[in-house]
Structure 1
Amino acid sequence: MTNKAKRSRHARLPPRIGHRLRRAALIERLGPGLITGAADDDPSGIATYSQAGAQFGMNMLWTMVFTYPLMSAIQMISARIGRVTGHGLAANIGRVFPAWVVTILVALLFIANTINIGADLAAMGAAAKLVLGWGQHTFTLGFAVVSLILQLFIPYHRYVRYLKWLTLVLFAYVGIIFAVHIDWGDVALRTFVPKLSFTGDMITMVVAIIGTTISPYLFFWQASEEVEDEEADAASKPLLKKPSQARYELDRIRWDTYIGMGFSNLIAFFIILTTAVTLHTSGKTEIQTAADAANALRPVAGEFAFMLFSVGIVGTGLLAIPVLAGSAAYAVGESRGWKIGLENKPWQAVGFYTVIGVATMLGIAVDYSPIDPIKALFWTAVINGVISVPIMAAMMVVASRRHEMGPFVATLGQRLLGWAATAIVAGAAVAMFIFSWEASR
């Protein structure tokens, strides 16, 4: 049954029953926002959150509350642009910036995503080796190949179902709390009244968390998946062409994004909390990778916590790699005017799938190369810091202009929060460069 038929049927039902059915339908249609939020907690993000908890204890929990409305607003705006216009971010940004600027931004996004894919694959292989005791590079290659095959040969409308179910693996990080003792009164206190020292290390960590939480590849992915969802439904059209669908679709986008970003930050909250009450409490404050965090948990929190953490690394990597590779392919394809979309067969969108394959293969090469994955992730953060600000600014301009959005421009609240997020990310990028320069002196 199409979305139009569902909406028509719900309208004829008694108010109470119709309301319940509409809520059920909304839950069924959770997708781009939920998957985007879950992909934000990739192995690289897990490493950052683990380091925050290990180094600063519960005094970093407040960042998850602080970033939630900001990331929700910016992701909602990216989804809104895709659903209203029927085009992804690269095509829409091309209306604001000259073509050469878009090309540079997309190239930097591709580089950052490729390095991130390599770091995530390395973390997944390391986690598998921790559990099984062998085969780090073998598992790294296997995870990459499986991810690539799924993207190449399974249509989007089927593939997205697997991604939805895969988000459940993140509950492993909620399950860990049952293996450790937690003073919930202290958790509430430190979340809303943290002890902040404003040292260089703490500010750098805040910058890292903001950069990990609000990342460019998430903008491109959610906007493009809204387009994929619209094109997969014969009854749906871009809202500029079919404004009668606006109320339902924009309401769905709002709740999908709120839930997806809430899910993302909730899991990140528990990762920080788990490492705070275990590693930080026991004096283990030096964590560089997600695998380091899992291994450090073993003697402190026990085998159960270690296994859950390790399984979570592999699961989140399998979820994040398609998002990283796919967002790069959407951006490159749109900027070049290629046919794009995961619903197409590989031979129907050769350029699009070539980008996915190249990004994944280069990610494997990063794992097999002598490149230090920690330094690689640092430079990924630098690149993301550089490109996030102009991309977010362009998004805000597009979302605020009736010429592009018609009557569906972003709401006042979204615009205020979106520009606030842009300013904060810009400040974080400047701070990152300052601390990097001072550290190199």
Structure 2
Amino acid sequence: MDSAHVGDIVGALGSIGQHDTLEGRSRLQRFRMLLAVIGPGLIVMVGDNDAGGVATYAQAGQNYGMALVWTLVLLVPVLYVNQEMVVRLGAVAGVGHARLIFDRFGKFWGAFSVGDLFLVNALTIVTEFIGVSMALNYFGLPKGIAVPLAAVLLFAMVAGGSFQRWERFLFGLIALNIVIFPLAFLVHPKASQIAHGFLPSFPGGLNSTLLLLIVAIVGTTVAPWQLFFQQSNIVDKRITPRWIRYERIDLWVGIVVVMLGAVAIMAATTFGLAGTGAAGKFTDAGAVAEALHDHMGTTVGALFALLLLDASLIGANAVGLATTYALGDTLGKRHSLHWKITEAPLFYAGYAALLAVAAAVSFSPDHVLGLLTQGVQALAGVLLPSATVFLVLLCNDRAVLGPWVNTVKQNIAAGVIVWSLVLLSLALTAATFFPGITTGTLELGFGVGALIGVLGGAGMLIAWQRNRRQATERTAKEFGNLDPDQVEELDATSLNRAERKAILQADRDTWRTPALDTLERPVFSPARTAGMLALRGYLLVAVILVGVKVVQAIGG
């Protein structure tokens, strides 16, 4: 563990001593402590509405009106379930997501997971520079100046050697998101039309084009980089288990902000471009700003461009840090914003190199960049099931989380999410291979897939309960004087007898993961290994198909 990850919580809105507790605190003092904790959840959610997010939501509104708002509603539980799991992992384990995967599953699976992250994140940062370029081009600043200027600013934001200064800078950028509300108001939205969008529908039929957009909405709203960023940022902010309940509030604040922003962006293009020649003809976010300028006036166009610029800077910063946090985890090097450049040279050099490469790629032809933006979001959506599987496995690892492991309800919710994402990517695969497939056939496929998921989930739940009962019986024989609740806490683990007793005696809010190198690594059963390999193989095919769709679109 990086030594900078231990100490007082020093946030943008206050600080908390390392050994402070809630005992004897007034409501005002507790509220101030909440403000000090707020940060990782809010930043990761607002960073979710990055350049790719703005472009994807704008495309949904411009091409389909408010008809796809329902997809955002379904993603709220996905956001919370996924990110709440990394909240617990970060606070309890005190290490980043990449470090846990490597330590618990080995280099083979760690390389798969981190390899996905590096690929998607590098491409995502390219889209952030695309957003910066388009936004500043609206205000008359050429790409040759806009992109290098943004790269320098992004590096300066993190290179000060102060976590608190970095977080305050991010909070300043987040505050600029308030332009979303006047933007949505000025296009004169219709409440009835927005409300109708909450009802699930497939405008124009469920074809590969619509599926790709839905997958892109999923990928831009719930991206794999968010798991790595929030867990590492919680560790870097020094949040411990006693503050998990406050970090959950932080997460909900972020979810509300990101959902309001997504709906507002859809509304801006839906109502701002309705009845114009631009309706149904999305090309890129820069063209949206120009179209809003032409049809709704200078103010609306400028607000959209400013929103795009702000979103791009926040997204590039968060995604870049997610990558370099993971790099530090993988290589075992210092990776904290508390360190100065001279104290953590690899951390800052990796961040600078990532920005430089992404900035260079962003000078590709405009029509390629516009399609790349959507393709990256779809790629993130396709790879999300794999990231979620590792997340669920870690959150069921009692050696790592002790009393903080997933409950049955949390596992059921996570299982539904993973299977739903797999079904969505399967539908995209089918629609790509067979362009003439009908909406009815795809809906039937979803129904069959849901049935398979229910039956498979029931079988897994029965097997899990049987294994837990057997483990409980073994534990009860070893500790004959324990009550049922204590026996459940002592479910089979890789900890020794003394450590298992310590779990029962320790207070939940102070329990931390033992040194990872002292824990016995969990062993995959043949069935689990086969399932993981099958999932990885399928996702590889799905990634190729997303690339095929993007190439087809580029070629007209």
Q: TM-score, normalised by structure 2?
A: 0.71
Q: Which residue in the other structure is 2:517 paired with?
A: none
Q: Say whether 1:59 aligns with 2:55.
A: no
Q: Is the 8 A contact 1:210 1:428 kept in 2?
A: no
Q: Which residue in the other structure is 1:224 paired with?
A: 232
Q: Which residue in the other structure is 1:27 paired with?
A: 35
Helix, strand or coil at the partner of 1:368: coil
Q: Distance in 2 between matches of 1:183 and 1:413?
A: 38
In structure 2, do the counterparts of structure 1 residues 179 and 381 end up closer, same or farther at CA, with 3 Å as the change threshold? closer
Q: Distance in 2 between matches of 1:260 and 1:404?
A: 27
TM-aligned CA deviation for residue 33 of structure 1: 0.3
- The one-letter amino acid paired with 1:229 is K
Q: Distance in 1 between matches of 2:18 and 2:158?
A: 29
Q: Is the 8 A contact 1:171 1:267 kept in 2?
A: no
1:383-409 Cα deviation digits (max 9, x unpaired): 434542222101111112211101111
- The one-letter amino acid paired with 2:16 is T
Q: Is the 8 A contact 1:117 1:360 kept in 2?
A: yes
Q: Is the 8 A contact 2:215 2:382 kept in 1?
A: no
TM-aligned CA deviation for residue 89 of structure 1: 0.5
Q: Which residue in the other structure is 1:143 paired with?
A: 150
1:211-245 Cα deviation digits (max 9, x unpaired): 11110111100000100111xxxxx6x54xxxxx2
Q: Which residue in the other structure is 1:406 paired with?
A: 402
Q: Which residue in the other structure is 1:165 paired with?
A: 172
Indicate which of 413, 416, 421 corresponds to 2:417.
Answer: 421
In structure 2, do the counterparts of structure 1 residues 379 and 277 end up closer, same or farther at CA, with 3 Å as the change threshold? closer
Q: Is the 8 A contact 1:61 1:273 kept in 2?
A: no
Q: Distance in 2 between matches of 1:275 and 1:375?
A: 18
Q: Say whether 1:286 aligns with 2:281.
A: yes
Indicate which of 92, 100, 103 corresponds to 1:84.
Answer: 92
Q: Which residue in the other structure is 1:125 paired with?
A: 133
Helix, strand or coil at the partner of 1:176: helix
In structure 2, do the counterparts of structure 1 residues 418 and 164 end up closer, same or farther at CA, with 3 Å as the change threshold? farther
Q: Which residue in the other structure is 1:352 paired with?
A: 347
Q: Distance in 1 between matches of 2:20 and 2:47?
A: 29
Q: Distance in 2 between matches of 1:413 and 1:273?
A: 35
1:144-182 Cα deviation digits (max 9, x unpaired): 111012212342221011112211222212221221222
Q: Is the 8 A contact 2:212 2:378 kept in 1?
A: no
TM-aligned CA deviation for residue 424 of structure 1: 2.4
- The one-letter amino acid paired with 1:410 is N
Count residues with an aligned counterpart. 420
1:115-151 Cα deviation digits (max 9, x unpaired): 22122112212211112x2322211110111101221
In structure 2, do the counterparts of structure 1 residues 154 and 4 end up closer, same or farther at CA, with 3 Å as the change threshold? closer
Q: Distance in 1 between matches of 2:195 and 2:381?
A: 31
Q: Is the 8 A contact 2:88 2:244 kept in 1?
A: yes
- Give structure 1 stretches of 5+ with no counterpart: 231-235, 240-244
TM-aligned CA deviation for residue 411 of structure 1: 4.0
Q: TM-score, normalised by structure 1?
A: 0.88
- The one-letter amino acid paired with 1:175 is P
1:7-406 to 2 correspondence within 5 Å?
7-8=21-22, 11-12=23-24, 18-131=26-139, 133-192=140-199, 194=201, 196-200=203-207, 201-230=209-238, 238-239=240-241, 245=242, 249-283=243-277, 284-370=279-365, 372-381=368-377, 383-406=379-402
- The one-letter amino acid paired with 2:413 is L
Q: Is the 8 A contact 1:382 1:429 kept in 2?
A: no
TM-aligned CA deviation for residue 375 of structure 1: 4.0
By relative contact order (CA 8 Å, sep 6+), the higher-ranking structure is: 1
Q: Is the 8 A contact 1:82 1:88 kept in 2?
A: yes
Q: Distance in 2 between matches of 1:57 and 1:89?
A: 38
Helix, strand or coil at the partner of 1:165: helix
Q: Distance in 2 between matches of 1:145 and 1:154?
A: 16
Give the % identical residues. 23
Helix, strand or coil at the partner of 2:95: coil
In structure 2, do the counterparts of structure 1 residues 411 and 263 end up closer, same or farther at CA, with 3 Å as the change threshold? farther
Q: Is the 8 A contact 2:219 2:382 kept in 1?
A: no
- The one-letter amino acid paired with 1:156 is F
TM-aligned CA deviation for residue 79 of structure 1: 1.8
Q: Distance in 1 between matches of 2:17 and 2:423?
A: 42
- Give structure 2 stretches of 5+ with no counterpart: 1-14, 436-547
Q: Is the 8 A contact 1:64 1:266 kept in 2?
A: no
In structure 2, do the counterparts of structure 1 residues 264 and 67 end up closer, same or farther at CA, with 3 Å as the change threshold? same
Q: Is the 8 A contact 2:180 2:307 kept in 1?
A: yes
1:356-401 Cα deviation digits (max 9, x unpaired): 1111001111112448213433553454345422221011111122
Helix, strand or coil at the partner of 2:338: coil
Deviation larger for 39-48 or 167-176 = 167-176
TM-aligned CA deviation for residue 410 of structure 1: 3.0
Q: Distance in 2 between matches of 1:262 and 1:412?
A: 26
In structure 2, do the counterparts of structure 1 residues 5 and 314 end up closer, same or farther at CA, with 3 Å as the change threshold? same
1:2-46 Cα deviation digits (max 9, x unpaired): 3467645xx435xxxx23442343134210000000000001110
Q: Which residue in the other structure is 2:511 paired with?
A: none
Q: Is the 8 A contact 1:55 1:280 kept in 2?
A: no
TM-aligned CA deviation for residue 329 of structure 1: 0.9
Q: Distance in 2 between matches of 1:143 and 1:275?
A: 26
In structure 2, do the counterparts of structure 1 residues 378 and 177 end up closer, same or farther at CA, with 3 Å as the change threshold? closer
In structure 2, do the counterparts of structure 1 residues 209 and 193 end up closer, same or farther at CA, with 3 Å as the change threshold? closer
1:256-308 Cα deviation digits (max 9, x unpaired): 11111221111011101111112244352222322121111112222111111
Q: Is the 8 A contact 1:32 1:256 kept in 2?
A: yes
In structure 2, do the counterparts of structure 1 residues 79 and 281 end up closer, same or farther at CA, with 3 Å as the change threshold? farther
Deviation larger for 283-292 or 387-396 = 283-292
Larger radius of gyration, structure 1 or 2? Answer: 2
Q: Say whether 1:432 aligns with 2:428.
A: yes
Q: Distance in 2 between matches of 1:197 and 1:44?
A: 24
- The one-letter amino acid paired with 1:344 is W
